[in-house]
C-alpha cells in the first residue's frame, strides 16, 4: 500500500521540485559504494575547499618535509568517504572494482596511479593527506588512483590494509567551482 501511494505521489513530488536531481555519475558510484553492505562507513563529509591539494605523484621527503612529487590545487566542493571493508572482503578488491567503474565513465582520464611502496610513506597518506589515521596500513598493501572525470570532477581513491580485519578504502570527489580551471 505504501509503495502504491509513493508511485501515485511521485509525479506530484517531481513537479513540486521535492525529488532531488540525479547526482553526477562519479558521485553515484560513491553513493552505491556507501550502500554496499560490506563497506562500513567510518567517516563522511561534504565541504567547500579552496586550494585543496590533490596528489599527482608519490609522497616523498624533500628538505625534511613530506610532500607530493607532483600535485594540483583545486577549488570547489569535496565529498569524502572512508569505509572499513568487512565480512572477508579486501580493500584491494573493492578498490579495483571502484576504479574499474571510474575508468569507464565518459571523459574519465587517469592522472596518476601507484601501488605499494611506490606510493611513498603510508603514514603520511593516512595522516597528512587524508587526516584519517585509521587508514595507515602496510606499505605493500596501499594503492592510490586519481582521475579527472569530464572537465569538472576529480575522483581519488586510496586503499590500505593493516590486517585481514583492518581493511580500509577512502574516496574523495572534488567538483570544481564554476569558473575554476581544470588544467
Q: What confidence tens digit (pLDDT) does each residue in 15-37 have?
A: 444 445 788 889 999 999 999 99
Residues 71/56, Cβ–Cβ less than 8 Å: yes
Mean per-residue pLDDT of the chain: 85
> What pTM was computed for the model?
0.84
- The pLDDT tens digits for 97-110 are 999 999 999 999 99
**What's the distance, CA 115 to chain centroid?**
16
Question: What gap in Å lies between CA 72 and CA 75, rounded to an integer?
Answer: 10
Residues 91/175, Cβ–Cβ less than 8 Å: no
- The pLDDT tens digits for 79-93 are 999 999 999 999 999
Question: What gap in Å lies between CA 14 and CA 1, rounded to an integer?
Answer: 20
| Residue ranges of domains in the chain | 22-176
Amino acid at each position: 500500500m505504501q509503495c502504491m501511494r509513493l508511485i501515485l505521489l511521485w509525479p506530484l513530488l517531481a513537479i513540486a521540485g521535492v525529488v532531488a536531481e540525479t547526482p553526477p555519475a562519479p558521485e553515484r558510484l560513491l553513493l552505491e559504494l556507501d550502500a554496499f553492505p560490506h563497506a562500513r562507513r567510518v567517516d563522511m563529509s561534504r565541504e567547500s575547499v579552496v586550494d585543496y591539494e590533490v596528489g599527482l605523484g608519490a609522497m616523498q621527503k624533500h628538505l625534511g618535509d613530506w610532500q607530493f612529487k607532483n600535485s594540483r590545487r583545486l577549488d570547489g566542493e569535496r565529498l569524502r568517504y572512508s569505509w572499513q571493508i568487512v565480512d572477508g572482503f579486501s580493500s584491494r578488491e573493492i578498490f579495483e572494482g571502484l576504479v574499474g567503474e571510474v575508468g569507464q565513465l565518459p571523459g574519465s582520464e587517469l592522472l596518476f596511479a601507484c601501488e605499494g611502496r611506490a606510493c611513498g610513506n603510508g603514514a603520511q597518506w593516512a595522516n597528512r593527506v587524508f587526516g584519517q589515521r585509521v587508514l595507515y596500513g602496510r606499505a605493500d598493501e596501499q594503492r592510490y588512483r586519481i582521475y579527472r572525470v569530464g572537465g569538472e570532477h576529480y575522483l581519488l581513491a586510496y586503499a590500505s590494509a593493516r590486517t585481514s580485519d583492518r581493511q580500509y578504502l577512502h574516496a574523495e570527489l572534488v567538483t570544481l567551482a564554476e569558473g575554476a580551471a581544470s588544467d
